Structure 1
Amino acid sequence: MEKPPIHPFIPIIIGVISISFSAIFVKLAEAESGAIAFYRMLFSVLIIAPAFFKNHVHELKMLYQRDWLFSIIAGIFLAFHFILWFESLRYTSVASSTVLVTMQPLFAFAGTYLFFKERLTMQAILSGIIAILGSFLISWGDFNISGSALFGDLLALIACVLVTGYFLFGQEVRKRISLITYTMVVYSISTICLFFYVLLKGESFGPYPFSTWIWFLLLAILPNLLGHSLFNWSIKWVSANVISIAILFEPIGASILALFIFGEKLIATQIIGGIIVIIGIMLFVLDIKALRNFFRKSN
């Protein structure tokens, strides 16, 4: 495999900072979840379309039937990840939602074991158990606040499963084609899926206040084009597990922003549970075999 022009850690860090704004923009937008997701993806496709049609459209010939199948699955998973996660933010706090939706390593461990036969170490299993305990503590605290908060937590967990599937299926296609082509294909599929979802569900395509259109555009530029696209670039050299671990830091940035913008204060169970989740996932990073595999892929 070719050597990356820059160390994958750099775009991953920029991506984490960018996606930390995602939950904030969603809560600021005055639209339903499906519509927010649709315009986020549509604007992303429109922004990258000129570069794709000018320099990369020929790469479509490189895609095999299996690549198209995996891309379609990845695009559908991404679409419903956004729908469920955005909906979760209507019921629970930014802190709880972002912590739970970033528990991707737990599902990535299972996914890579089932589909790619990657071996799971005892330390990885232990880290998963610790993180699950942390998520239970968060959900227990939210249930004491209200039943709707617990429902929002459940939506965030399902959204987490879906985005993990998006990365797992996408990494196989991304390894052989450019970032622009991969992003254009998967985001277009996701946009089409979201269009029919909004249409069938009867959500509004507009009109919206001018400020909401700005939040739609910012969602496309920051979390998608600087966030998920950078992760897609990095996934050519690192595994889905590494991306999942990096995304774990999103709740920290999102919670700080939510505190200053919406005045969302953290309760004890959110703080303690969040710390336990982070400790559990970070235990995986300390796994010597995992670190060795990562550096072998990134160098």
Structure 2
Amino acid sequence: MTIGPESGAAGPSRAMALVLALIGLIAVSHAVIFIRWAGDAPALLIAAMRVAIGTAVFLPFAFRGANTGSMPRARLLSVLSGIFLALHFGAWIESVQRLTIAESAVLVSLSPVWLVILDVATGKGWPDRRTSAGVFLCLCGTVALGWDGLTSPTGEPLGLVLAIVGGMAMAGYLAIGRQVRPVLPTAQYVSICYGTAAVLLGVAGIGAGVSFANIPAEAWWAMLALGLVSQVVGHTSYNFALIRLSPVFASICLLGEPIFGTLLGLLYLGETVPQTTLLGGIPILIGIWLSLQGEISRPQRR
């Protein structure tokens, strides 16, 4: 993966960006497996280690050959993107602790809607019909996935708010990444972004009294795998591809995570596939396909 500046002309082709999005989806979908293998390790510690490992991998390359006196606005935006990423992880983790997984997943998955609203509010207009249909189908599938939790809510009102905030934060993270990626090299952007998130999540963990004691070696290995696979490969593939792909399409791709995660659970852990996953997975996959067609036909930004 290149670590030099990627302008609109020098960045990945549209086809390569789509391949990277698929690689990112598969890598991010492994997160649920690694988190399961981490056992009872504190959630904030898992999240902080995830982005800290990503920072450690890219930081040695971040400013190599770069003019450190240039592009201050892009670097400031990268910090803001890291704040949104930390807020996403923090709000999502806390919402899962206060809600059912189904309730939290549905509300966090509203990020494509928030991105469409942001595009309309900033004068970019509505996405094309295929992308709009893809967003609608993905949301229908996500509701089907969480139907049991939605029809019999058991969570706290604060948890509902936190899940919504988590989805908004993911939208902000992707939208800012789209603005910064044509300006900053991949390694520099993700080092600043992931590093900011790691610091904030670490401070939150200390404030919450998270302890490093009595965490088994297996949990540390799982967190290392989470950082290397789901963050370094997964999130960074999306960030690299954002130079060509729209944030709306990237967020729609992420809605495939529960589907792939369930299939990986069957592969690695022998877990059965719930019927609701089959019902919800079909419209989500169709929605991703329609959005892919819309993304392919979208004029490329130069």
**Fold shared by both chains (TM-score > 0.5):** yes
Q: Is the 8 A contact 2:58 2:188 kept in 1?
A: no
Q: CA deviation at 1:24?
A: 1.3
Structure 2 distance, partners of 1:176, 1:215, is 34
Aligned twin of 2:58: 48
Please point out which of 11, 17, 32 is paired with 2:42: 32
Aligned twin of 2:71: 63
Q: What SS does the corresponding residue of 1:177 show, helix, strand or coil?
A: coil
Q: Is the 8 A contact 1:103 1:244 kept in 2?
A: no
Question: Over the residues paired in the alignment, what is the CA RMSD in angstroms?
Answer: 3.3
Aligned twin of 2:31: 22
1:133-183 per-residue CA deviation (whole Å, 9 max, x = no partner) reads: 443333331256772599988865543322121010122112101001001
Q: CA deviation at 1:268?
A: 3.3
Structure 2 distance, partners of 1:251, 1:100, is 13
| Residues 214/190 of structure 1: CA separation in 2 closer, same or farther (3 Å cut) | same
Q: CA deviation at 1:274?
A: 3.6
Q: Which moved more, 1:233-242 or 1:111-120?
A: 111-120
Q: What SS does the corresponding residue of 1:61 show, helix, strand or coil?
A: coil
Q: Is the 8 A contact 1:20 1:223 kept in 2?
A: yes
Structure 2 distance, partners of 1:236, 1:127, is 21
Q: Is the 8 A contact 1:35 1:203 kept in 2?
A: yes
Please point out which of 96, 117, 128 is paired with 2:124: 117
TM (norm. structure 1) is 0.81
Q: CA deviation at 1:116?
A: 5.7
Q: What SS does the corresponding residue of 1:221 show, helix, strand or coil?
A: helix
Aligned twin of 2:11: 4
- Opposite residue 189 of structure 1, the aligned amino acid is T
Q: Which moved more, 1:35-44 or 1:79-88?
A: 79-88
Aligned twin of 1:105: 112
Aligned twin of 1:256: 263
Structure 2 distance, partners of 1:9, 1:124, is 15
Residue ranges of structure 2 left out of the alignment (5+ in a row): 1-7
Q: Which moved more, 1:82-91 or 1:217-226?
A: 82-91
Alignment of structure 1 residues 126-205 onto 2, 5 Å = 126-143=133-150, 147-148=154-155, 158-205=165-212
1:86-112 per-residue CA deviation (whole Å, 9 max, x = no partner) reads: 45566645x886676555322221222
Q: Is the 8 A contact 2:141 2:284 kept in 1?
A: yes
Aligned twin of 2:5: none
- Opposite residue 110 of structure 1, the aligned amino acid is I
Residue ranges of structure 1 left out of the alignment (5+ in a row): none
Please point out which of 218, 227, 241 is paired with 1:220: 227
Q: Is the 8 A contact 1:98 1:250 kept in 2?
A: no
| Residues 286/180 of structure 1: CA separation in 2 closer, same or farther (3 Å cut) | closer
Please point out which of 292, 297, 300 is paired with 1:292: 297
Structure 1 distance, partners of 2:110, 2:287, is 10
Alignment of structure 1 residues 274-289 onto 2, 5 Å = 274-287=281-294
How many residue pairs were aligned?
Answer: 291
